[in-house]
Structure 1
Amino acid sequence: MLSGLKIKVNEKIYVKDPETSVLGKKILQESIFLINEIGFDNFTFKKLGDKIGSNESSIYRYFENKHKLLVYLCSWYWSWVEYKMVFKMTNIDDPFERLKRAITVVTEKAEEDLSIPHINESVLNTIIIAEFTKTLHTKEVDDENKEGFFLIYKSVINRLIQLIEEVNPKYPYPKSLASSIIEGGLHQYFLKDHLKTITDCNEQVSPTDFYLNLISTVLKK
């Protein structure tokens, strides 16, 4: 579906675009597996360098620190999700069907897209569920927001806002609903895997099922 796709990430996030070299792509590829394996808190450029057989200093030529690497991976992910949203809504005229398709894309478990070999989207999705809030919950979030670090993430939410308003222009909280769907979808997957007693999501009921039911209820005119 996304063959030939070139995802662009804010150039202020990286020192050198990792998509422009074999080493850069290897850094992205292996950092995803390593963060998923040991967690972001335990992840270091030294450990990544050992894994890819390269000096730690070579990684710093692409990213200033591991926080910006995580921001890059998250930005890449949300850009990929946005492309999928647009694709799924193409040639669909009914506003509610468009919204349902968009919510399905942003809340379903990602599958690996083999047309982008250096990014395993399924594993990256697992990282987003566990680690995405760490890109936002920092002392630098306001400055990074001004620099445009989260434009792609906000673009996905803004698309949902527009779709909600198309379905029910009188609904008073489209922004809160849209951002809650995005954040809540990730959180429900986390609860399903780790704190099972405080979510209705399980192997039979997905976060997608919950949010499709939610919008059917709250957006009734």
Structure 2
Amino acid sequence: MKNLLSNLKIAVPDKIYIKDPGSSALGKRIVEHSIILIDDIGFDAFTFKKLGALIGSNESSIYRYFESKHKLLLYLSSWYWAWLEYQLVIETHSVSDKKEKLEKAIEILTQTTKEDSNFSHIDEVILNRIIINENSKSFLTKEVDQENKDGYFIIYKRVVQRLRDMIEDVQPQYKYAASLASTVIEGSLHQHFLKDHFSSITDCKADVTPNHFFTNLVTNTLGS
């Protein structure tokens, strides 16, 4: 998988950015250090002015790539889901057994993130923390419906739809495949958050991962 991923370019919807940050050294530094800074101080406290100071660049240079910090968060979220989608497709492609394929997909979508050396300017482990803590802020806005029409969330929805299709392959009679798929993906983020911050209200611990929980949930729900 690593050899395949090394030849792939993560594609983010081009309406999200003004200039593709992956096309220049400055753009990659903006992405790299925005991940570090958001993880350090949180998205609410994050500003382009602080990011500019961190990378030694004018605030105006960042606006040449993104018109707002909201668009930057959308970029990071889309990149993350696209990166996860590549893993999902590649690692399940050769699995012929439908149940085994579904369980592998759940594992990929709910596991603890490991660093991927194929993308040197993005620390996927830190980005995963941002997605766990901040992802909902990318769509819990007044503009969500228009942004959805503009295709900002197309990659995220595609990941959900891929999992939905695998659920339907295992149990075609199950009526709520899309709801179950989105519950697994969003619920995994929530369970990871609870594990780290509210451990008394989740069963997910060091030896019980969100993957264990959601594999059990889906298997029992589908009766497979």
Q: TM-score per shorter chain, which class?
A: over 0.9
Question: Residue in 1 aligned with 2:166?
Answer: 163
Please say if 1:71 is aligned against 2:74. yes
**Secondary structure in structure 2 of the residue aligned to 1:132:** helix
Q: 1:205 aligns with which of 208, 212, 215?
A: 208
Residue by residue over 1:123-145, the C-alpha shift from the partner in whole angstroms, topping out at 9 and shown as x without a partner, is: 00000000000011100000000
Partner residue of 1:176? 179
1:154 paired to 2:153:
no
The answer to whether structure 1 residue 21 and structure 2 residue 61 are counterparts is no
Shift of 1:220: 1.1
Distance, in Å, in 1 between the alignment partners of 2:93 and 2:195 is 32
**2:218 pairs with one of 209, 215, 218:** 215
- Aligned with 1:149: secondary structure? coil
Q: Distance in 2 between matches of 1:219 and 1:54?
A: 53
Report percent identity of matched pairs: 57
**2:139 aligned with 1:136:** yes
TM-score, length-scaled by structure 1: 0.99
Unaligned runs of 5+ in 2: none
CA deviation digits over 1:46-94, x for unaligned, max 9? Answer: 0000000000000000000000000000000000000000111021100
Give the deviation of 1:216 after TM superposition. Answer: 1.3
- Count of residues in correspondence between the two structures: 221
Worse-superposed segment, 4-13 or 147-156: 4-13
Residue identity opposite 2:169 in structure 1: E
Deviation at 1:4, TM superposition (A): 2.2
Cross-structure match for 1:126: 129
Counterpart pick for 2:107 among 91, 104, 107: 104
- Cα RMSD (Å): 0.7
Residue type of the partner of 1:119? I
What amino acid does structure 1 have at the position aligned with 2:122?
I
